[in-house]
Amino acid sequence: MNLRRLIWLEFKQHKSQLISGLLAITLGIAVIVGIRSVSVVSEKAVAVNLDNLGANILVLPQASNVDNYYSADIDAPTIPEEYVDRIVSSNLQGVDNLSPKLTRRIQIGNEKIVLTGIMPKNEISSKPMWQQSGLIGNPIIAGCTPDNSANKDNGYKDDKLQRKVIDSLSANECLLGSAVSAKLKVKEGGSLDILGQKFTVSRVINETGTVDDDRVFIHLRKAQELLNIPGQVSVIEIMGCCNAISEGLLGKLRNVLPDTRITTIGQIVSTQIQTNKMMNKVSLIFLIIITFVGGISIGNFMWANINERRKEIGMLRMIGFRKIVIYKMMLVKAFVLGIIGGIVGYILGTLAAIWMGPKLAGLPVSPILSLILISLAISVCVSMLGAIIPTYLAGKIDPFKNMQEV
């Protein structure tokens, strides 16, 4: 017989009370774990999907008009191409691909056409839809979060990993958007006169349904030469990781390039930010609820238990158990309750997420092991907090409770 055995035997004696006392905290932990398990997977899925949309940040000159995200670069003032190096050398997390462009409206024959100078490797890697036109070459390495292992762990594949690029677009070659090709009646292999220089059409890009359909693409260096704007670009497109954007990538870019205008596809990013915020808020609300309800529930259980055992506690005090030993007995009990609540809550929450995730969110959910530590920490803290007052009062029980018949 020792203190540990006494606590254990007392636990065994009050199994039903124990279960009711644990119910609130266990369910609370289960809900938090369930929400978090689904939201983590959901956040990653949203991030992967949004990243796959392609470039989502524009670095423009201060004076440019950004009413239309997709045509903001046309006839915009210019910024130095050297800004690309500045971004690269700043080593910002979440910047996956930089695509500098120089865009101007020009006249080809009788048609007004948008000419865009691009760095072919960078441009194509930022345009997933172009790849369907067969513009393929070497694979690019994407470092954007969610990282490869995270994607693999969750059963996703990051499309960027599969993207291929062409390494070069020679000085006398051009790419035509599908609408331009139709308008100018020029096909692959044909030739085109652009600002007095002859270009061979190396590829007609399949219809993308974007402004790219109405553009002619040549090498950036050639465009700078023909337009007589050396070393300047009208926009730098960045394929920024959505998670990184929601975590403040735009602000960091503004610090690197203070004299530029940096914008993003607001709706997409705000959706991501709102989703993350909403999930975090829901988890926080549950955390607050569990702290109150779980703490009160444990406190109530402990108090009922202490009231039921007043004579027993009094007897222990009478035969020489110090107050500190009574405190220890109560707090060890609360600690064990917290551990049980945390583990059972984690298991229930994870099972619920695995079962309901595919049905509710259409996502396969895997157990997140790190959540067990969080569950245990929350559960033990709440349990101990709930037990503080009853424990203090247990120490105040008169040791002579058993003598009052006299």
Partner 1 sequence: MILKTINLSKSYKHKDGVVNAINNINFTANKGDFVTITGPSGSGKSTLLLSLAGLIKTTSGQIFINGFEITKAPERNVSDFRKNNIGFIMQSFALIPYLTAIENVMLPLAETSIRNKEKRYLASDLLKRVDLDNRKNHYPRELSAGQQQRVAIARALVNSPSIILADEPTGNLDPGLSSDILKLLKKFNLDEKITILMVTHSPVAAEFGNLNIKLEDGKLVTSINNNEMSN
Residues that bind partner 1 (CB under 8 A): 1-3, 5-6, 9-10, 12-13, 311-312, 315-325, 398-400, 402-406
Closest approach of partner 1 to the CB of residue 278, in Å? 48
Q: Which is nearer to partner 1, 10 or 147 (CB)?
A: 10
In angstroms and rounded to an integer, the radius of gyration of the C-alpha atoms of the chain is 33
Q: Which is nearer to partner 1, 141 or 324 (CB)?
A: 324
Closest approach of partner 1 to the CB of residue 394, in Å? 15
Q: Which is nearer to partner 1, 221 or 323 (CB)?
A: 323
- CB neighbour burial string for 294-312, b if at least 16 within 10 angstroms, e if fewer: bbebbbebbbebbeebeee
Closest approach of partner 1 to the CB of residue 376, in Å? 28
Count the Cβ atoms, other than its own, within 10 Å of residue 331: 16
Q: Which is nearer to partner 1, 2 or 91 (CB)?
A: 2
Phi/psi of residue 53, each to 5°?
-70, -20
Q: Which is nearer to partner 1, 4 or 152 (CB)?
A: 4
Amino acid, single-letter form, for residue 227: L
Residue 43's Cβ-side half-sphere holds a number of Cα atoms within 13 Å equal to 24
Query: Residue 93 to residues 124, 161, 185, 248, 382: CA-CA distances in angstroms?
Result: 21, 17, 44, 10, 37
What would the two tokens of residue 142 be? Answer: 């994407």
What would the two tokens of residue 104 be? Answer: 């101007």
What would the two tokens of residue 368 be? Answer: 């997140």
What would the two tokens of residue 87 be? Answer: 């971004």
Closest approach of partner 1 to the CB of residue 319, in Å? 5
Q: Which is nearer to partner 1, 10 or 247 (CB)?
A: 10
Closest approach of partner 1 to the CB of residue 321, in Å? 6
Closest approach of partner 1 to the CB of residue 3, in Å? 6
